[in-house]
Amino acid sequence: MVRPSEILLSEQLNSLSRIVDHAYIHSRFYRKRFKKVGFKQGDIRIFSDLAKLPELTKTDLIDNMDDILCAPKSRLSTASTGGTSGIHLAFFRDDYCSAYRRGIDLAIARHYGWKDGQWQGWLWGASQDLLQPSSLKGRLIRQWSDRHYFLDVSNLSNENYQKFVEDTKTYNPTFVSAYPSVACDLAERIEAGVVEIFRIPVVSLTAEPVDEFQKQKIQDMFAENVYERYGAREYGTAAIECAQHNGMHYFTDSVYLESVETATQDSGLRTLLVTDLLNRAMPLIRYHTGDFGELHHSPCACGLSSPRVRNVQGRESDIIWRLDGTGVAGAGVRLAIQEAMIKTRIQIVQDKIDLIRIRFEGKTSDSKRELDTLVQLFRENIGPDIEYLIEPVDKIERAQSGKYRYVISKVTRPTKG
């Protein structure tokens, strides 16, 4: 039964007030921070009250973890982020939060048609990339309650892809979770005839920005349905796409999302902030995800009444900055790559405000026309006063987590603009 939006939002506001009050009472870091802006326990009465509080960054967490935590580390589960945003972060969860998020993951799996005992495929890193139970009993229960098999993303060879396809045919999962870049790579190899054809009911894409051409390619080659989901290791899966493909409905019982003005003046995007409503051990209040996106509260034709997050465009480190201080989001850069019809693996790196390297696998002579087109598109859309350096390489490595970064910016936004 679908709960009306008024009920969902009322319950969410109560949860938001409770977690903020909890942080005020039990966390030295938050209590000091709240007092500095004249905020006290009980001051969350409407959602907009939260905006009075400062944003929380990964650096804040790293520098102040002991003061942020509301429980001894010995009683908490630990995990870490993959460091693809440039900052490696260890974080903590209490048992209630871990169990609840485990329930969310199971509910999502069942939404995709999974039943107890069935296998799940992962075009992902490795099993240690998931948050695992600390006890042997817990790991055995995890193994036999929802069985996982993985592709080794450290070696994306035809042979390993073929092994994954054979495993999929053997285990017959109802869905596969995937990095968009890996799933699209598999689809292209199937299209090229170097990996065997197969079909899967659902592919769920997450952890990287998703382009429409990737979704279409995956659906054409091996998936009946392709859906996005949004989340992060720090706060788990926060939203999933419905059958209308009109944004991802976020879980109002586990997170509260805000979208705030971003420094990227001409992108039309807003920065997403997350308040975790579940983790009382390490509260995340107005957590700066580094992701960009839009929030929508209008009714959805699918019938769900929860708000939606749309147009998630990746992280601030994916922004290419212009000399005048404006920026181009990573999605815009990837669209230019698509328009230039680049056929080889490529990566755009902004080392300095006036220098962009176009790294690609192969020889310049093999892709000269496409690369010339890409440089021209960059000159038109990013700026003519930037040097575009063509850099052929033998191989572009993925991040340690297995994610593929199309765009890497090593500069901060210029002060002018």
pLDDT score of 367: 87
DSSP string over 126-157: -GGGS---SSHHHHHHHHHHSEEEE--TT---
Helices H / strands E in the chain, number of each: 10, 19
Q: Is 37 exposed, middle or buried (0-12, 13-18, 19+ CB in 10 A)?
A: exposed
The pair of three-digit structure tokens given for residue 341, joined into one six-digit string: 């019809």
pLDDT score of 130: 47
What string of pLDDT tens digits covers the 417 residues of the chain? Answer: 556 788 889 999 999 999 999 999 999 999 999 999 999 999 999 999 999 999 999 889 989 999 999 999 999 988 776 544 445 678 899 999 999 999 999 999 999 999 988 999 998 764 444 445 556 666 565 556 658 888 877 667 888 899 999 999 999 999 999 988 889 889 989 999 999 999 999 999 988 878 888 899 999 999 999 999 999 889 999 999 999 998 999 999 999 999 987 654 455 568 899 999 999 999 999 998 878 888 998 889 998 889 999 888 766 556 788 888 777 767 678 778 878 888 788 899 999 999 999 999 988 888 899 999 999 999 998 899 999 999 999 988 866 555 677 888 888 767 654
> Using CA atoms, how far apart are residues 314 and 293, in angstroms rounded to an integer?
8
> Using CA atoms, how far apart are residues 137 and 123, in angstroms rounded to an integer?
26
Pick the CATH number of 93-315 from 3.30.565.10, 3.40.50.360, 3.30.1360.120, 3.40.50.12780: 3.40.50.12780
Name the amino acid, one letter, at 57: T
> Using CA atoms, how far apart are residues 220 and 176, in angstroms rounded to an integer?
15
pLDDT score of 416: 52
pLDDT score of 87: 53
> Using CA atoms, how far apart are residues 270 and 358, in angstroms rounded to an integer?
27
Given its phi and psi angles, is residue 350 left (phi above 0), alpha (psi -120 to 50 degrees) or beta? beta
List the domain boundaries for the chain. 93-315, 319-409
Domain 319-409: CATH superfamily is: ANL, C-terminal domain (3.30.300.30)
Q: Is the dihedral of CA 297, 301, 305, 310 positive or negative?
A: negative
Strands 255-261 and 248-250: unpaired
- Closest by alpha carbon to 154, among 129, 172, 131, 173? 129
DSSP string over 54-107: PPB-HHHHHHHHHHH-SS-GGGSEEEE---TTS---EEEE-HHHHHHHHHHHHH
pLDDT score of 366: 86
pLDDT score of 116: 85
- C-alpha distances in angstroms, 40 versus 32, 49, 70, 120, 188? 10, 11, 17, 46, 55
